[in-house]
Structure 1
């Protein structure tokens, strides 16, 4: 038995355990795999039925905060054209031990199959009995922005204190401060340092952003962006960060977009990864589509993607598909 028999492959919020042969044993526990803050294990037990168990490995440091998990789990058989058995979606279930989630399959499985586990959310219970919070939305802003922006900057922006430049978005205008914009963006610095119309007229026209997107972008620059606003506007923020060379925002968007890839957004994420040169996001999207087989779940959308996407990107996807087929 090789070590590969126990390895679980992961990307973003997805885990897959490939089983080549279960006939020789009645019990198998996977190697630990990390999703969110926890190491997880999958267990197979074969008796009259096949039982699949999922549980976190809790240590002394996290035993008092077991995860509250939402997920979808499937068993995909290679026989008969990738037939799948799907467990009903699990929502907000706290898992502490190997007995907290047990799936009994009455359908006999022979040959190769894949256990496909997609995490929809991971939460931790509040220590004071309050509402649980997602480990994926507690945000970079609470941790990082405190170190890079003073709270007074946010007040200057939100209360329009001594603003000295107007930004015209596609559907509205907002006041800002040259010094703050120049300090955060080399592009704005260049505008105000040379004899350009922005310096002379004290106006910046950003016609490719709505006023709402512009406000969220400026909220980031001033250090008082809200986590949910960041999540809701990531793609617009990514475009603005790339255009105005705000590299810390671009990287924050890059890291965040890695966390919740699914079939509804993977093709859009792949296009943006190619457009804005985001290598980790590109690799994860490719793996999600090809290595983890999700391309079969969205064939109609993928056919439309082929018709409209950059041909070099389409070629990369097909080359990845060919390399996986050769190795299978």
Structure 2
């Protein structure tokens, strides 16, 4: 019994130390301590961060920085397209901490999922996909299906969205929204038809 309690206490202490360690990294980002990398978004705003942290978490960032590494500037400046400043800040904070709030997911899940997919941040992508699965309904299934088609690995969200559409096919396929969807997404509408046929 004593050994079990001791083991539990040690696990708790380790978890606390790990949390403190991650919090210190986040604090370094927030306080702009010893940063060597400036990321610039399409809107002209920028964030300073630590290149070694980003490159350790993302092969895509590593490749980007290697391409820009010819400069001898003390702080490397590089463009990060297709992402807003707020979403980039949340992405960087996640890279440092491994955490994202529910509120931030509600407001930025789409942009964060696209960014996680683009920069190959697997854990963040998984969290965002889980959020979309948990909030999937008949009313947003077409949107989720369109979103899935933009991902490098669309299978998880695509399968869930098609299943939701097939279960509610009368409500969805007879709507004006579906007519617009079919015009914009002929290949996806074929997948919808096949999923409905399989269902009935």
Indicate the TM-score class for this superposition, using the shorter chain for normalisation: 0.7 to 0.9
Q: Report runs of 4+ in structure 1 exceeding 6 Å deviation.
A: none
- Cα distance in 1 for partners of 2:197, 2:101 equals 43
Match of 1:220 in 2: 94
Q: Does the alignment pair 1:255 with 2:130? A: yes
Match of 1:169 in 2: 41
CA drift of 1:252 comes to 1.4
Match of 1:179 among 52, 68, 73: 52
Distance 1:181 1:308, change over 3 A: same
CA drift of 1:294 comes to 6.2
- Cα distance in 2 for partners of 1:296, 1:167 equals 42
**Runs of at least 5 residues in structure 2 that lack an aligned partner in the other structure:** 1-14
Match of 1:197 in 2: 68
- Cα distance in 2 for partners of 1:296, 1:241 equals 30
CA drift of 1:295 comes to 4.0
Tell me the alpha carbon deviations over residues 128-172 of structure 1, each in whole angstroms, 9 at most, x when there is no partner. Answer: xxxxxxxxxxxxxxx9xx77x711111011111111110101221
Distance 1:243 1:191, change over 3 A: same
Instruction: Assess if the C-alpha contact under 8 Å between 1:263 and 1:297 holds in 2.
Output: no
CA drift of 1:296 comes to 3.5
**Runs of at least 5 residues in structure 1 that lack an aligned partner in the other structure:** 1-142
Tell me the alpha carbon deviations over residues 294-318 of structure 1, each in whole angstroms, 9 at most, x when there is no partner. Answer: 6438711111000112x32221111
* Matched residue count: 177
Counting strand residues as a fraction of each chain, which structure ranks higher? 1
- Cα distance in 1 for partners of 2:112, 2:170 equals 27
Distance 1:255 1:197, change over 3 A: same
Tell me the alpha carbon deviations over residues 60-119 of structure 1, each in whole angstroms, 9 at most, x when there is no partner. Answer: xxxxxxxxxxxxxxxxxxxxxxxxxxxxxxxxxxxxxxxxxxxxxxxxxxxxxxxxxxxx
CA RMSD of aligned residues (A): 2.3
Instruction: Assess if the C-alpha contact under 8 Å between 2:173 and 2:179 holds in 1.
Output: no
Structure having greater relative contact order (Cα 8 Å, sep ≥ 6)? 2
Counting helix residues as a fraction of each chain, which structure ranks higher? 2
Please say which structure displays the higher CA radius of gyration: 1
